[in-house]
Amino acid sequence: MSTKGTIYLVPIPIAEDAISTLSASVVSKTLELKHYFVENVRTARRFLKALHPSIVIDEIQFSEIDKHNGADIALFRKWIKEGLEIGIMSEAGCPGIADPGAELAGIAHSAGAKVIPLTGPNSIVLALMASGLNGQSFCFNGYLPVKDPARSQKLKALEALSRKETQTQLFIETPYRNNQLLDEIIKHCQPQTQLCIALNITGATEYIKTQSLKEWKANKPQLDKAPAVFLMLA
């Protein structure tokens, strides 16, 4: 079967202006790509211009992935059929991880396209690396339910699973709810459970710390409204 089109999953810096965290493959490939599916066209254009000041942005075609309706699948399939090289960009980090790019990668495989992940920063992996928690068995759970009782029930269930399997449980939250989530973890989970908070990874104010919930409760920080990953091990 002949392969039609090639898809490149293009990582974006997690922290603003952290261009140094990108691999050489990202730098070189973004000089060549002329077709992109992106979460935000303005962000994508600004990123490419920062990475390559001499790049002619008007020569590049962008299709924005709508927050409510998703990507223009018909256009994506058309570009694949035409044998184009297509980049996929998220707002930050690696596309396809807690990101709508996963759907496009799946469609690309079904259409016979080649899918190539370029190496770059990923907050989930970096947080796990630095946490000191179990990196042999772990599970990323994305966003937790926003309201109780579903939220507290989910926290208790993740803690129980972590204890049973000795498995690190990772989850994230909208930045302005970071402090609220920390309060709820302390309230609903056991004092001896270990929690790592990894805030603004790769940024100038990066903060990564692991300790028991008892210790967090005794000296609770005020978390910035910055992207964070929470890691729990009971």
Residue 8's pLDDT band (cuts 50, 70, 90): very high
As a whole number, the mean pLDDT across the chain is 94
Helix residue ranges, H only, 5-72: 24-29, 41-51
In a domain, 148, yes or no: yes
- Largest Cα separation within the chain, whole Å, is 62
**Which tens digit of pLDDT belongs to each residue from 177-190?**
999 999 999 999 99
Domain boundary among 117, 135, 164: 117
- Say yes or no to pLDDT of 221 above 50: yes
Q: CB burial class (10 A; 0-12, 13-18, 19+) of residue 140?
A: middle
Domain containing 225 — which CATH number?
Answer: 3.30.950.10
CA–CA distance, 162 with 8 (Å, rounded to integer): 35
- Say yes or no to pLDDT of 1 above 50: no
Q: Which residue range is the domain that position 162 belongs to?
A: 123-233
Q: Work out how many domains the chain is built from and give that number.
A: 2
In a domain, 1, yes or no: no
- The pTM is what? 0.89
Same domain, 95 and 197: no
Same domain, 110 and 39: yes
Q: Give the strand pairing for 138-143 and 168-172.
A: parallel
Quick check: 88 and 36 in contact, CB under 8 A?
yes
Helix residue ranges, H only, the chain: 24-29, 41-51, 73-81, 101-110, 123-131, 150-165, 178-188, 213-218
Quick check: 125 and 131 in contact, CB under 8 A?
no
The mean-pLDDT minimum among 4-8, 15-19, 41-45, 206-210 falls in 15-19
**Which tens digit of pLDDT belongs to each residue from 159-175?**
999 999 999 999 999 99
